[in-house]
Structure 1
C-alpha cells in the first residue's frame, strides 16, 4: 500500500512544522516495519481486508442507489459483493490472507517486469538514452518477483511489511526534506490589482 503526497509550495510553507512532524511519524513507522516486518505484514493484510470491506459496502450503496436500470448494474453488484467477501476472508484468516496478497504482489512484479522489458526494447530506437533504464527497472521488478516466489511460503511472512516499511521511510524523508527546503520553492506570481482591473 504505497503512500504518496502532492503538496503545493504555499501549503508547505504554511504548515511546514506539521509536515515535518508527519514525516517523522512516517519514518518511525517505516523503521518499525523494517525492523518487525512480520507484524507490519499482518497489519497490512488486516488494513487491506478492512479497505476491501469498506470499498465493497460503498459500492453496494452506490449500486442500489443507481438502480437496476443503470448500465453495468449486475457487474458492479458482483464486484462490490466480491470485495466484501474478499475482505471478510482476509480478516477471518489474516495469515492466509498474507499469502494471497504476496502471490498477487509476485504476479504484479513478474507482469510489470515483462511488460517493461518489452517496452524497453520498443524504446531502444525511439529513446536510445532512456531505454537502458527502463530495461533495468524491468529486470529489478522481475528479479524481485522471482526472489519472493522462490521464498514462498516463508517470504510471505516478511515481504509486504518490508516493502511498506521502505515506502513509509522514504515518503517520510521526502516530506521532511520538502518542508525544510520549502522557503526556496518557487511561488507563482500573484496577479496585481491593476491587472485585474
Structure 2
C-alpha cells in the first residue's frame, strides 16, 4: 500500500503562485486597459450596490436613535450610485477617472509645497518636489484628454499595480527559496 504524505505549501511556492496570478492579471489589464476598466468599474459598482443595500438593512437596527434616517439616507445614496454605475457603465469609469485626476493634482501640489517648505531642514528635499511634480504632471496629462482617458486609465493603472505586485511576489518567492 502506497502512503501519500501531504507536503505543506512553502511560503516561496505561495508567493510564486500569487506573483504569477497578479502579474498575469496586471499584464492583461495593461494590454487591454479598456476591458480592465469596465471590469474594475463594474466590480466597484456592484460592491457599492451591495454595500448600500447591506447598510440600509443595518440602519434599520438603529431605529431607536433619531439619526437612523441620516445613516439610512447615506447608505441609500451609496446603493443608488452603485445601481447607476451598473445600469450606465462608463459613467463610473468617468467618475473614477475624475477622482484620480483630482487626487494626482492635489497630491502633486501638496508634495511640491511640502518639499519646498522642507528645503532648509532636510537633505534631498528635491526628491519630494520631483515626486510632486510627477504626480501633478500625470494628473494634468490625464485631465488634458479627459473624458477619453476614462475609457482606459483606471484599467491601465490597476494593471500597473497588479503587475508590480506580481513581480514583487515573484522576487520574494526567489528570496524565500534560498
TM bucket, shorter chain: 0.7 to 0.9
TM-score w.r.t. length of structure 1: 0.78
**Cα separation, 2, equivalents of 1:62 and 1:126:** 50
Q: Following TM superposition, by how much is the alpha carbon of 1:122 offset from its aligned partner in structure 2, in angstroms?
A: 2.1
**Aligned position for 1:30:** 26
**Aligned position for 2:35:** 39
TM-score w.r.t. length of structure 2: 0.86
Secondary structure of 1:124's counterpart equals coil
Counterpart of 2:55 (choices 54, 59, 79) is 59
Structure 2: segments with no counterpart, 5+ residues: 1-8
Distance 1:31 1:65, change over 3 A: same
- Counterparts of residues 167-178 of structure 1 (less than 5 Å): 167-178=161-172
1:181 aligns with 2:175: yes
Structure 1: segments with no counterpart, 5+ residues: 1-12, 185-197
1:97 aligns with 2:92: yes
Q: Following TM superposition, by how much is the alpha carbon of 1:74 offset from its aligned partner in structure 2, in angstroms?
A: 4.0
Q: RMSD over aligned Cα, in angstroms?
A: 1.9
Q: Comparing 92-101 with 34-43, which one deviates more in the overlay?
A: 92-101
**Aligned position for 1:125:** 120
Structure 1: which 4+ aligned runs deviate by more than 4 Å?
none
1:113 aligns with 2:108: yes
1:138 aligns with 2:132: yes
Aligned pair count reads 170
